[in-house]
Structures are given as C-alpha cells and as structure tokens.
Amino acid sequence: MSVEVLATAKLNLSLEVLGETPHGFHELRTTMIAISLGDLVRADLSEERGVSLDLSGDFSEGVPKDESNLAVRAVLELLERCEHSGGVRLALEKRVPAGAGLGGGSADAAAALLAAREVLGLGEDTEMDESILGALGSDTVFFRAASAGHALCEGRGEVVSARERVGDWSILLLTPSVHASTADVFAAFEPAGDSSEPESAADFSNLSAAEARLELRNDLEAPALSLYPELAAWRNALDAAGLAHARLTGSGASFFALFEDRSEAQKALSELLERSSALPKPSLACVTSPSHGVCMKL
C-alpha cells in the first residue's frame, strides 16, 4: 500500500514582525495561503524499523536524507509517540526549491506525517500532529491546520487560526537563484520608528486579486533586499515591468504577484522574463494558483 500526498507550498500574503521575545524569537503576525505547486511525498510500509528516505526531482540536490530532514523527523516522532515498531519508506520528489520562502521542508513534514499515518493504519490525531509539527518549525502547523489553505499565523507562526478560502486568483511566482538565509534576514531586520500596530491583520477571504494586492505586506523584504543584490535586481525588474505590487514571500527568495486570470499572469511573466534577460536565470518561474486545502492526498 502506498499513499501519495502533494505537499502544498505556501505564500505569505502579509508578514509583520511585531517584536522580539525574551527567548530571542521574533513575534510574528502573518497571513499565509497554500498554493497548487508542491513537492510530492509518498509513503510505503517498510520491513525495516524506522524511516528511510529516497529523493528525486529538480530541487533534490543538497536535501538531506537523514534525521535533519523534517519529513524524516516528523515520521520518527510519530512512530515513537505511538510506540509503533514498524517502519516507513518515504519517497520525496522535490519540486520546490529550498531557501525560497515557500515552506517546502515544512510542507514535506506535514505531508509525510499524513501519509505515514495512513500506511501504518493509525487513526487521525490532530492534537498530536500539531504538537509534532510545532516542535519542528515555526510554519509547519499551518500545513496541518489551515483546512481551506488560508490562515492567520501568530506567535512564531505556530498559532494558527484557519480562515475561509481565498479567491481563484492566478499567481505569478518567480524564484531567483538565491538561497536566502532566514536567520540572516531576521538579524538584518530593523524595526520601524513607529511601533504602533494595526488593529487587525488583513483577511484575504474572497477578495479579488485587485483588492488583495492592496493588502500585501512583508516586513522582511527590505532586509532581504539589502543582503542579496540579486534579489534587489529582481525587485527593480519587477517595478520596471509594472509589477510594483509584487511581494517577497517569507524571508525570500521568491516573489509573487496576483492576477484575476491565468492568461494575464502568463503574459506578465513572459514580459518580465524577456525584459530581464540580462539577469541570472531564475531557478523557478511559473504561474500557479491558490490551493483550497493543505497536504492534498492524490
């Protein structure tokens, strides 16, 4: 028996850095959506105890296969908590680049957990899954809790409030060939002089693309651009191509822009790439759409 799951990637439609906790973590308020682009995770029963991982795909180079991989760690923790003596063989096709702000590793962990539960014959346990994922990283719980693929995430990102689905937008997605370090970007972040907070975070449920564009925000974009000249060059290219509303997702390195229909997004992407031919080729450039769910079983 095999179970395949699409590990849906994510975008940060808004990202506010509210301050730093006494423990050195940054307090965040971010609205995220899942998108139809994602890695493919398959789980099979194994005769050997524990977890093994096979890798493939355009972005598999450099991805670890040991316990430093979040997908492996998630399933190992599941086996331990359930006191299960069996084994799971994972296969991961990497379609999402690392260091891109798309949450690929976190999504892989949530997808692997879902697939492993099914092949092992374990029942659903949302509380356990969210506990496992929350211990692995700040945005991992989103990929379990955002039932409609849209949520407000607070704290370090692990406090997730699910929201209704967003519109059927088309999304221009471009990832320059830069591996952005989340730690370095946060270290370079400087709070604005005015520390007042908005009363509430924007709710993107059912907004048109034009309406959603007005609410896009990312406090980490400025420090990321200051650290990575190639990102700054693409920011200039986007502005010159009439895509000033495009935003960085997470700490980078991917930019996205919202459109009402696919043909409009595809035309904008083609024109952007043509105008920017002197820049290094991006590692990913495509048109995708919101996924109205997370970790979709295939």
Any idea what DSSP says for residue 67?
Answer: T
Q: What are the helix (H) ranges across the chain?
A: 70-81, 104-120, 126-136, 142-145, 182-188, 209-213, 221-227, 229-240, 262-275
Q: Helices then strands (H, E): number in the chain?
A: 9, 12
Angle subtended at Cα 183 by Cα 250 and Cα 203, rounded to the nearest 5 degrees: 25
Contact 172, 259 (CB under 8 A): yes
Catalytic residue among 39, 129, 139, 219: 139
Report how far residue 139's alpha carbon sits from residue 102's, in angstroms, rounded to the nearest whole number: 10
Report how far residue 4's alpha carbon sits from residue 21's, in angstroms, rounded to the nearest whole number: 39
Report how far residue 219's alpha carbon sits from residue 16's, in angstroms, rounded to the nearest whole number: 5
Establish whether 139 is a catalytic residue: yes
Establish whether 297 is a catalytic residue: no
User: Can you tell me whether residue 290 is helix, strand or coil?
Assistant: strand
Which residues make Cβ contacts (< 8 Å) with residue 290, sequence separation at least 6?
33, 34, 35, 36, 149, 150, 165, 166, 167, 168, 169, 171
Catalytic residue among 10, 39, 94, 219: 10
Report how far residue 200's alpha carbon sits from residue 279's, in angstroms, rounded to the nearest whole number: 38
Contact 153, 159 (CB under 8 A): yes
Q: Answer whether the bond into residue 151 is a cis peptide, omega within 30°.
A: no
Report how far residue 224's alpha carbon sits from residue 176's, in angstroms, rounded to the nearest whole number: 13
- Measured from the Cβ of residue 13, the count of other Cβ atoms closer than 10 Å reads 25
Question: Which amino acid makes up residue 96?
Answer: V
Q: Which residues does the annotation mark as catalytic?
A: 10, 139
